[in-house]
Amino acid sequence: MTEPKTAEQLAGEVKAAFDAKHDQVKAIAEEALGKAKTGEDLSAATKQLADEALTGMNEAKARLDELEQKMARKGPDDQARHQTVGEQVVAAEEIKSFLESKVSRGRASVEIKAIISSLTTDAAGSAGDLIVPDRLPGIIAPGQRRLTVRDLLT
């Protein structure tokens, strides 16, 4: 299975595609400028090729701009996400080995790191870490329910 690409890798690919389209447009423009200096008329095929290259370059530029905007909104990925208490318990080796054993009763102890390690809200390991951002893309509409006449009167 292939690894998912990071935003930086995708941005690099889009930038490379944009640069290739830009070079193609530049070559066509230089050819057209050379023909114009010698007094030759541009053929319909050359005009069509230039239009296609400009359209491709504009599409690549739009994709690059959209990707840059998404990355700016998303924020940096280098911030370490702290695990909740439940995530720490589930990931603990002691719990995994206890669940794999066939014992119906027993006790397992797990050492959990403190979620809050400072009292300020702006430092790393502070109370701000208790609030985990959970953003879903798009608009989430409320559930649809059947309206009755009583709902309209009240």
Q: What is the pLDDT of residues 15-60, one digit of tens each?
A: 888 888 888 888 888 887 887 788 777 777 777 887 888 888 888 8
Average pLDDT of 78-107?
A: 80
**pTM, whole model, 2 decimals?**
0.40
- The answer to whether residue 9 scores a pLDDT higher than 70 is yes
First to last CA, the chain: 57
Give the pLDDT of residue 53.
Answer: 80
Answer for the pair 116, 127: CB distance below 8 angstroms, yes or no: yes
- Residue 31, classified by CB atoms within 10 Å of its CB into exposed (0-12), middle (13-18) or buried (19+), is middle
**Mean pLDDT of all residues in 75-92:** 70
How far is residue 123's CA from residue 82's CA, in Å, rounded to a whole number? 13
The predicted pLDDT at position 46 comes to 77
- The SS3 of residue 139 is coil
Task: Tell me the mean pLDDT in the region 115-130.
Answer: 61
What pLDDT, on a 0 to 100 scale, did the predictor assign at position 74? Answer: 66
Rounded CA gap, 89 and 52, in Å?
Answer: 57
Task: Give the residue from 143, 80, 142 showing the smallest Cα distance to 117.
Answer: 80
Q: What mean pLDDT is reported for the chain?
A: 76
Residue among 102, 116, 108 nearest 90 (CA): 108
